[in-house]
Amino acid sequence: MKKIKDLLSNREVGKARRIDEKSIESAFFSALQKELPNIGRADIANFKLGNGKIFLRTTHPAIAGEIWKKKEKLKREINDFLGEEILEEIKAK
């Protein structure tokens, strides 16, 4: 059995958390629900992240249009939520 002292010495204390794709996706859907409450996860057929950009494929062109109109505000909210300037652009089709 390991001692608590050994377990605590192996912890990465003070290191910044790594922001992965799932964190960004979660932040996006949280901001989307706040800005456009009538659009949910079921309305987004495909979500991809690459090079600081979010690529969305929606189930209907009207949904893509609504997201496009709010993309700057969504981007700002996601970056504020994550605490870093990670997201550069949101593209919706």
Q: pLDDT of 30-69, one tens digit each? A: 999 999 999 988 999 999 988 889 999 999 999 999 999 9
Q: Is 70 helix (H, G, I), strand (E, B) or coil?
A: coil
CA distances from 17 to 20, 45, 87, 92 (A): 9, 29, 17, 28
The reported pTM is: 0.73
Asked if pLDDT for residue 25 goes beyond 60, the answer is yes
Question: DSSP class of residue 18?
Answer: P
Residue with tokens 């949904």: 63
- Answer yes or no: is 3 within a domain: no
CA-CA distance, 59 to 52, in Å (whole number)?
Answer: 23
Residue 14 lies inside a defined structural domain of this protein: no
Q: Read off φ and ψ for residue 81, nearest 5 degrees.
A: -65, -40
Q: How many domains does the chain have?
A: 1
Q: Determine the structural domain holding residue 79 and report its residue range.
A: 19-92
Q: Tell me, yes or no, whether 12 lies in a domain.
A: no
Domain containing residue 86: CATH number: 3.30.70
